[in-house]
Structure 1
Amino acid sequence: MNIVPDKKQLLELAHYRMPFGKFKGRYLVELPEPYLVWFQQSGFPEGKLGIMLRAMLEIKINGLEGLIRKIQKDFPQ
């Protein structure tokens, strides 16, 4: 089974910024992993932000931040 990432969703994830709190305005890839783990334990927000934070945690757990940073560099917004 081949899993093909959705390019549009990856672009959006790479350029999505935290909308509130201590890390407001930072790209999600810049969020510390313990902060994302805290959300996992406490409950991710509803909606798109929760989906994006969940995805970023998986990316970080699997050491794929470089992929997101490359997308940011190659496809600036």
Structure 2
Amino acid sequence: MKPEDLLTLVRMPMPYGKYAGRLIADLPGPYLAWFAREGFPDGELGRLLALMHEIDHNGLGELLTPLRRR
């Protein structure tokens, strides 16, 4: 993980699927858990979804709050 990845989570929208257009940081936990079970996509998107899953699963979502205010 790079520190700037956290900022990307609050700025990058999900590019496809049921939650297309929703910020990765705002994706629901069950959706992230589905990716964890079924497999994350390749590349940067998959890496960011895996990071968001870890943040959500461990109850660390408040880490992103200060970044949303920027």
Q: With structure 1 as the length reference, what TM-score do the two structures score?
A: 0.80
Q: 1:51 corresponds to which residue?
A: 47
- SS of match in other structure, 2:37: helix
Q: Contact 2:11–2:23 (CA<8 Å) still a contact in 1?
A: yes
Is 1:25 the counterpart of 2:21 in the alignment?
yes
Distance (whole Å) between structure 1 residues aligned to residue 45 and residue 34 of structure 2:
15
- TM-aligned CA deviation for residue 13 of structure 1: 2.1
Q: Which runs of 5+ in 2 are unaligned?
A: none
Q: Which runs of 5+ in 1 are unaligned?
A: none
Is 1:36 the counterpart of 2:32 in the alignment?
yes
For the pair shown, which has the larger CA radius of gyration, 1 or 2?
1
- Give the counterpart letter for 1:31 in structure 2: L
Aligned with residue 14 of structure 1, among 7, 10, 14: 10
- SS of match in other structure, 1:51: helix
Give aligned-pair identity as a percent.
43
- SS of match in other structure, 1:26: coil
Distance (whole Å) between structure 2 residues aligned to residue 22 and residue 69 of structure 1:
24
- TM-aligned CA deviation for residue 15 of structure 1: 1.2
Distance (whole Å) between structure 2 residues aligned to residue 6 and residue 43 of structure 1:
21
Is 1:63 the counterpart of 2:59 in the alignment?
yes
Superposition CA RMSD, Å: 1.4
